[in-house]
């Protein structure tokens, strides 16, 4: 039997979350079959099987975060399996043995084999209760999961003489374990009422009978239609955790300056309508974001500092002759910023195709770490949410970010007359250590000028 250990799928990965298993125990897999989706600090990644054979154990439950190098699945040779005659299964609590006093601080992730002793899978029914117990213990100890379903295979009946003491650990998710620890509740004394025999938050609070439980469960004073839990908690992990750390580092290490400009987008909106009718652009999405992306690339030619980076360690400003254009994308699992490599070399048709592919992959949560590394400038588009603008935080490793607001019909003065025009707001945040106000203002003005009159792009 071979154990597949969680690999490092991207630059210095230390841990990942098991999102969803694509196989179950008993399935036969071939080499390179997709067996699981994992979420790293940057994206969701599909893992192919390095082995061929039958899945004998899923060692980590969905939703669990495990370190690189942790065994996550066992795959064996189908011909090596021995038939086991089904017999009556006794009622035995095969709980995780890490939990005395709540067990919040203990984890089975990454335990050394020396710590847990040799483990062998029982091959014959006659091996009795000890072999059955070792099977269950192996499934939990190598699984590294607070919530793992009991082995579905028949377990031989146990006589009192054969029975060995079984360490009991009630099944519960990490947030529930923490609540039990905070309230001083021993999980092993509770009767589980949650799914799959797990202890839920309500079980802990009911058992606590303390002021803490009352605060979280007491009904609000006066009329209320609220039902169920008044608070829920969601672990900070994966993409959301990485994004939070990156934004804090950027916000408090770079001196941000933000400038705003209101733009008459009527000329750009008319250009978008004309481009949509072009035969070569019929198969791609043409939007104001496409025109803005091209305007950004062109405006950088006059202000290269926008596409540079302050290397604090080397005390140098690094000017880049290429543009890896990042597009911030909101996904259900957090904000990601994939970038279009060498965007300066793409034609308008190629840029449109690259934008469409980038956003589609991001929405599906399939953006890979390599697609988010090496960015030089970022556009964040808040227009689809009806937002006019904001003060965006610079993406780490870059020096500027442009916020693209909603395009709306507004009154506008043209030749001393008030007319209805398509108007939007652009806001640029930049690193004031090496981009002074003059350079930031010139870049923003150039971008606005191209959007107001796309024909001026011929001047760049």
Residue position matching structure tokens 């620890």: 181
Strand positions, DSSP E, 395-447: 400-404, 408-414, 417-431
Structure tokens at 433: 């250590």
Helix (H, G, I), strand (E, B) or coil at 75: strand
Is residue 434 part of the annotated active site? The answer reads: no
Per DSSP (E only), the strands in 40-181 are 44-48, 53-58, 65-67, 71-76
Q: How many Cβ atoms sit within 10 Å of the Cβ of residue 271? A: 20
Integer Cα distance of 201 and 173 in angstroms: 9
Long-range contacts of residues 453-457, Cβ cutoff 8 Å, at least 24 apart: 453/267, 454/267, 454/268, 454/271, 454/291, 455/267, 457/294, 457/295, 457/298
Rounded to whole angstroms, the Cα distance separating 229 from 112 reads: 39
- The whole-angstrom separation of Cα 70 and Cα 172 is 21
Assign 3-class secondary structure to 406-419: CCEEEEEEECCEEE
CB of 325 closer than 8 Å to CB of 377? yes
* 144 Ramachandran zone, left/alpha/beta (phi>0; psi -120 to 50): left
User: Helix, strand, or coil here: 311?
Assistant: strand
Residue carrying the six token digits 């987008």: 265
Q: What letters, b where the CB count within 10 A reaches 16 and e where it falls short, cover 234-261?
A: eeebbbbebbeebeeebeeebebbbbeb
Contact 425/260 with Cβ under 8 angstroms? yes
Query: 364: which residues sit within 8 A by CB, 6+ positions away?
Result: none
Q: Is 148 helix (H, G, I), strand (E, B) or coil?
A: coil
Distance (Å, whole) CA 334 – CA 65: 17
Taking the CB of residue 315, how many other CB atoms lie within 10 A of it? 7
Beta bridge partners, 65, equal: 17
Positions annotated as catalytic residues are 432
């Amino acid at each position: 039997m071979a154990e597949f250990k969680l690999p490092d799928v991207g630059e210095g990965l230390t841990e990942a979350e098991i999102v969803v298993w694509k196989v179950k125990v008993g399935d036969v897999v071939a080499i390179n079959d997709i067996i699981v989706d994992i979420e790293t600090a940057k994206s969701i990644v599909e893992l192919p099987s390095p082995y061929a054979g039958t899945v004998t154990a899923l060692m980590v439950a969905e939703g669990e975060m495990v370190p690189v190098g942790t065994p996550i699945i066992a795959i064996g040779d189908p011909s090596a399996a021995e038939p086991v005659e089904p017999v009556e299964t006794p009622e035995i609590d095969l709980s995780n043995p890490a939990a005395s006093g709540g067990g919040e601080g203990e984890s089975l992730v990454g335990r050394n084999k020396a710590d847990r002793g040799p483990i062998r899978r029982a091959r014959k029914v006659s091996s009795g209760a000890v072999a059955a117990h070792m099977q269950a213990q192996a499934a939990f100890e190598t699984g590294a999961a607070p919530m793992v379903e009991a082995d579905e295979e028949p377990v031989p009946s146990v006589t009192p003489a054969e029975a060995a003491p079984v360490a009991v650990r009630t099944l519960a998710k990490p947030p529930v374990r923490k609540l039990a620890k905070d309230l001083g509740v021993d999980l092993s004394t509770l009767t589980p009422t949650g799914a799959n025999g797990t202890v839920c938050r309500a079980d802990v609070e009911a058992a606590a009978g303390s002021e803490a439980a009352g605060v979280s469960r007491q009904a609000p004073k006066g009329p209320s239609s609220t039902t169920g839990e008044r608070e829920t908690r969601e672990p900070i992990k994966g993409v959301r955790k990485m994004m939070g750390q990156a934004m804090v580092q950027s916000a408090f290490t770079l001196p941000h300056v933000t400038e705003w400009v209101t733009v008459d987008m009527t000329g750009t909106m008319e250009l978008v309508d004309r481009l949509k009718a072009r035969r070569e652009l019929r198969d791609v999405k043409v939007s104001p974001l496409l025109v803005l992306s091209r305007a950004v690339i062109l405006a950088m030619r006059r202000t290269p500092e926008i596409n540079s980076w302050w290397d604090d360690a080397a005390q140098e400003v690094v000017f880049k002759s290429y543009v890896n254009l990042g597009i911030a994308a909101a996904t259900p699992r957090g904000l990601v910023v994939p970038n279009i490599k060498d965007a300066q070399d793409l034609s308008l048709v190629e840029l449109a195709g690259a934008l469409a592919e980038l956003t589609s992959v991001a929405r599906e949560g399939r953006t890979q770490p390599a697609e988010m590394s090496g960015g030089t400038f970022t556009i964040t588009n808040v227009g689809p949410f009806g937002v006019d603008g904001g003060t965006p935080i610079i993406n780490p490793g870059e020096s500027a970010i442009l916020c693209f607001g909603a395009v709306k019909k507004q009154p506008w003065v043209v030749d001393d007359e008030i007319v209805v025009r398509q108007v939007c707001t652009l806001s640029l945040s930049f690193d004031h250590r090496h981009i002074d106000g003059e350079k930031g203002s010139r870049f923003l003005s150039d971008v606005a000028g191209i959007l107001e009159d796309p024909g001026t792009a011929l001047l760049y």
